[in-house]
């Protein structure tokens, strides 16, 4: 990779609880890329996409589907993708089938070339469902293994060997039948299902401040949802009194990426 290539790519991501953000930063670091990295929540993201031809685009998987906020961002900026080269990174708790393929199909529709796909297993962010919950020690190990994989992928990318995770027809079939048909429309149907326990809520405003959709407001010193949840679980994992739930009725275990990293490993 020459000096020009090192600045030739921009990374754009969405991350609910920090897993995807962490993976993007690690990949850029391992690639030796001194470039810009933006969340789709930042105003600069759109401008950066306009300036670069090569993109890394990253997001977490939700029920073998794209988070609503990511789908909306891609569609709202449909005219930006024409002629871009896009490498897709998808993080997930266990399995997604065609995680990278989900946005690849949209990007191709809007004229982009999808250069590759990468799936990275990270700690599960669904704090109120028991199924995939792991002890902190196992989650730390998961993050360590993710780091190893990102290092190996960076070496391969520099040699021109590009992974194609989630991009084949077989991945598409696996994603569809593995989960998506079963959970069909779950992401959309759950837009207005956020539950806030008013007896627990202390009105600190942490959820209001961090919601990527501005879906939360404080009314009479209690948090209230407006019905536009993207199911990222950021508020649920950050609420200091565990007053917010979505799919389950009780917070079982809160976790954000910082919990699984040493101070000097945080991005």
- The site for ligand FMN (CB under 6 A) is made up of 15-20, 60-64, 91-96, 122-126, 179, 231-233
Neighbours of 189 (CB within 10 A): 10
What span, in angstroms and rounded, lies between the C-alpha atoms of 231 and 261? 24
Residue 164, token pair as written in the block:
């194609």
Nearest residue (CB) to ligand FMN, 85 versus 259: 259
- How far apart are CB 1 and ligand FMN at their closest, in Å? 26
- How far apart are CB 70 and ligand FMN at their closest, in Å? 10
What span, in angstroms and rounded, lies between the C-alpha atoms of 121 and 243? 28
- How far apart are CB 61 and ligand FMN at their closest, in Å? 4
Nearest residue (CB) to ligand FMN, 125 versus 215: 125
- How far apart are CB 207 and ligand FMN at their closest, in Å? 15
Nearest residue (CB) to ligand FMN, 100 versus 231: 231
CB 90 within 8 A of CB 118: yes
Nearest residue (CB) to ligand FMN, 77 versus 190: 190
**What does DSSP assign to residue 62?**
B
- How far apart are CB 74 and ligand FMN at their closest, in Å? 17
Q: Is the dihedral of CA 203, 209, 212, 215 positive or negative?
A: positive
Nearest residue (CB) to ligand FMN, 75 versus 94: 94
CB 74 within 8 A of CB 111: no
Neighbours of 169 (CB within 10 A): 9
């Amino acid at each position: 990779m020459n000096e020009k290539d090192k600045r030739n790519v921009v990374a754009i991501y969405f991350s609910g609880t920090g897993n995807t953000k962490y993976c993007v930063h690690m990949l850029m670091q391992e690639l030796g890329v001194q470039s810009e990295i933006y969340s789709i929540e930042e105003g600069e993201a759109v401008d950066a996409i306009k300036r670069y031809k090569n993109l890394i685009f990253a997001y977490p998987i939700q029920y073998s589907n794209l988070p609503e906020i990511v789908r909306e961002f891609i569609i709202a900026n449909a005219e930006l993708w024409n002629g871009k080269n896009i490498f897709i990174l998808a993080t997930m708790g266990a399995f997604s089938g065609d995680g990278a393929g989900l946005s690849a199909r949209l990007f191709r529709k809007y004229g982009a070339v999808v250069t590759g796909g990468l799936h990275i297993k990270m700690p599960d962010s669904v704090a109120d469902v028991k199924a995939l919950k792991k002890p902190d020690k196992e989650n730390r190990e998961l993050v360590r293994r993710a780091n190893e994989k990102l290092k190996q992928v960076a070496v391969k990318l520099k040699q021109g060997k590009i992974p194609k995770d989630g991009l084949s027809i077989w991945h598409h079939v696996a994603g569809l039948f593995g989960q998506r048909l079963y959970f069909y429309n779950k992401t959309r149907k759950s837009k207005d299902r956020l539950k806030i326990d008013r007896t627990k809520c202390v009105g600190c405003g942490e959820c209001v401040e961090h919601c990527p959709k501005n879906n939360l407001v404080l009314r009479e010193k209690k948090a209230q949802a407006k019905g536009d949840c993207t199911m990222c679980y950021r508020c649920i994992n950050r609420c200091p009194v565990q007053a917010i739930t979505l799919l389950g009725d009780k917070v079982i275990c809160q976790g954000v990426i910082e919990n699984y990293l040493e101070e000097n490993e945080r991005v």
